[in-house]
């Protein structure tokens, strides 16, 4: 039986940017780092790009959209979530291959509270932190008047699929992986999972 170690879950701050960048790269299975590498100017590191983006007040990856789990004064996990009220206009086939299936599935997530990323540092995993962050995101959705959650996950990431399934998320769609640029080099499908917070079918 896991023992929860989280002292608090709070709104993220700009000072959390480095932890947020590291955590979203974990959640994104290395794709964020791959994208940041493409954006680096001479002398910049991918992590520096990620930190800059986490400090923004706008965009999906912003500290404004993140909740942080703490143990002591140290961030140990985060969930990044926000409302999707309009379908993305990009054609997935025109986007970098690693993100194409995610954008394709986001088009099916309109009018849901979308969990863009949920991750916990390795030393704090398997201790209930992910479940607490998931519950916090669902509470945030209710606060903003949303009764349906959505999240995307690689089918081959069986641990994440088990976590979400255990908490009532069900597969509603999938899209094939075009390219996964870093280990573990996932193939197969990206799954779109949804959960109704009202008791109605997702």
Give 75-124 pLDDT, tens digit per residue: 999 999 999 999 999 999 999 999 999 999 999 999 999 999 999 999 99
At the top level of CATH, the class of 8-196 is alpha beta
Strand partners, 82: 114
* Cβ atoms of 131 and 151 closer than 8 Å: no
pLDDT at 145: 97
pLDDT at site 2: 44
Domain spans of the chain, in order of start: 8-196
What is the pTM (predicted TM-score) of this model?
Answer: 0.92
Residue 59 confidence (pLDDT)? 93
Q: How confident is the model at residue 73, as a pLDDT? A: 85
Contact 66, 80 (CB under 8 A): yes
Name the pairing type of β-strands 66-71 and 74-84: antiparallel
Region for residue 30 given its phi and psi (left: phi exceeds 0; alpha: psi -120 to 50; beta: otherwise): left
Residue 1 has a pLDDT of 37
What's the confidence (pLDDT) of residue 43?
92
Stretches where the chain sits below pLDDT 50 are: 1-2
pLDDT for the residue 126: 87
């Amino acid at each position: 039986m896991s023992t929860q170690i989280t002292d608090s879950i709070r709104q993220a701050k700009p000072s959390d940017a480095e932890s947020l960048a590291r955590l979203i790269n974990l959640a994104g299975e290395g794709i964020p780092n791959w994208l940041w590498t493409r954006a680096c100017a001479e002398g910049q590191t991918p992590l520096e790009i990620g930190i800059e983006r986490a400090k923004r007040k706008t965009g999906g990856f912003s500290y404004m959209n993140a909740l942080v789990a703490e143990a002591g004064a140290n961030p140990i996990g985060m969930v990044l979530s926000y409302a999707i009220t309009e379908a993305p206009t990009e054609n997935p086939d025109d986007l970098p291959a690693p993100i194409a299936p995610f954008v394709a599935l986001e088009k099916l997530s309109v009018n849901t509270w979308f969990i863009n990323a949920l991750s916990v540092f390795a030393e704090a995993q398997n201790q209930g932190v992910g479940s607490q962050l998931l519950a916090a995101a669902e509470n945030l959705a209710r606060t903003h008047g949303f009764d349906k959650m959505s999240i995307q996950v690689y089918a081959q990431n069986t641990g994440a699929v088990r976590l979400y399934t255990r908490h009532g998320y069900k597969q509603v769609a999938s899209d094939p992986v075009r390219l996964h640029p870093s280990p573990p080099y996932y193939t197969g499908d990206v799954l779109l999972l949804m959960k109704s917070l009202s008791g109605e079918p997702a």
